[in-house]
Amino acid sequence: MDRERLGKNRYFLKTTIRDQIDISDNDQNKGVPMPEIQKPHSDGQQLLDLVPAEELKEMSGMKLTEAIGDRRTRRKFDPESMMTLKELSYLLWATQGVRKNSGTTIFRTVPSAGNRHAFETYLAVFNVEGLEQGIYRYLPLDHRLVLERKVEDLREKVNLASKGQVFVGAGSVAFIWAAIPYRMEWRYTLAAHKSILLDAGHICQNLYLASEALGYGTCAIGNYSQELADKLVGVDGKEEFVVYMAPVGK
């Protein structure tokens, strides 16, 4: 590989861009309204209640130190294993849940640069108590799920979207995170993109630890088909696109 080309591409990992451009020349300071922090759903879509956050906090007996110490990537799942709705609620709360809503500012269980939270969480649900197989989306502000659509042969489609990594479609559920970059660009313009990826790491690490604490396993997936993953969750690939995935199973 051309070392000069590699070197040029590294600019993305640095904060140098903040010295080269004026970030204050952003849409926020121009008075453009803040983008919605949760994508809306249409009236006709089915909504499903999750187990409230207050009922989730005591559910794991595992100490944080143990969860951190035992964490590892797991790629063998039992496809028959049924995840409870309470367990799924816990994983969603741990990865994107709201921990404090002051009325004007909403804070979540994960940090985010400028509290911009550029992600939508889609779920490929295979085996979760009370849920039909399909693609769902988490609504953090409501702590509910919205059914995006039922999908036939979902496991196979997830396998194709993850470039044949068959274990991705073999768990109880697969988390699929899509970024809406403008949420971050509205404030940080060209410096937004590094922060979006840093944010993704926090989300997935919380999924690793929360899964471990419940006796489940997960695997971060960065190698997937952009086109098939975007198509699977139904995003346009431009204003919103998949950046990370993670199956969860026993």
Ligand X SMILES: Cc1cc2nc3c(=O)[nH]c(=O)nc-3n(C[C@H](O)[C@H](O)[C@H](O)COP(=O)(O)O)c2cc1C
Residues in touch with ligand X (CB under 6 A): 72-73, 75, 165, 219-223
Pick the closer one to ligand X by CB: 75 or 231.
75
Pick the closer one to ligand X by CB: 59 or 197.
197
Residue by residue, DSSP assigns 46-104 as -EEE---GGGTTT---S-HHHHHHH--------TTPPBPHHHHHHHHHHHH-EEEE-SS
Pick the closer one to ligand X by CB: 140 or 247.
247
Listed residue (62, 115, 65, 92) closest to 206, CA to CA:
92
Pick the closer one to ligand X by CB: 154 or 204.
204
Pick the closer one to ligand X by CB: 46 or 223.
223
CB of 178 to ligand X, least distance (A): 16
CB of 181 to ligand X, least distance (A): 18
CB of 37 to ligand X, least distance (A): 24
83: left (phi over 0), alpha (psi -120 to 50) or beta: beta
Side chain identity at 209, as an amino acid letter?
L
Q: Is 180 helix (H, G, I), strand (E, B) or coil?
A: coil
CB of 202 to ligand X, least distance (A): 12
CB of 47 to ligand X, least distance (A): 32
Token pair, residue 38, equals: 């949760």
Side chain identity at 122, as an amino acid letter?
Y
CB of 98 to ligand X, least distance (A): 25
Residue by residue, DSSP assigns 138-161 as EETTTTEEEEEE--TTHHHHHHHH
Q: State the residue number with the nearest CB to ligand X.
A: 222
Pick the closer one to ligand X by CB: 52 or 111.
111
CA distance 215 to 61: 10
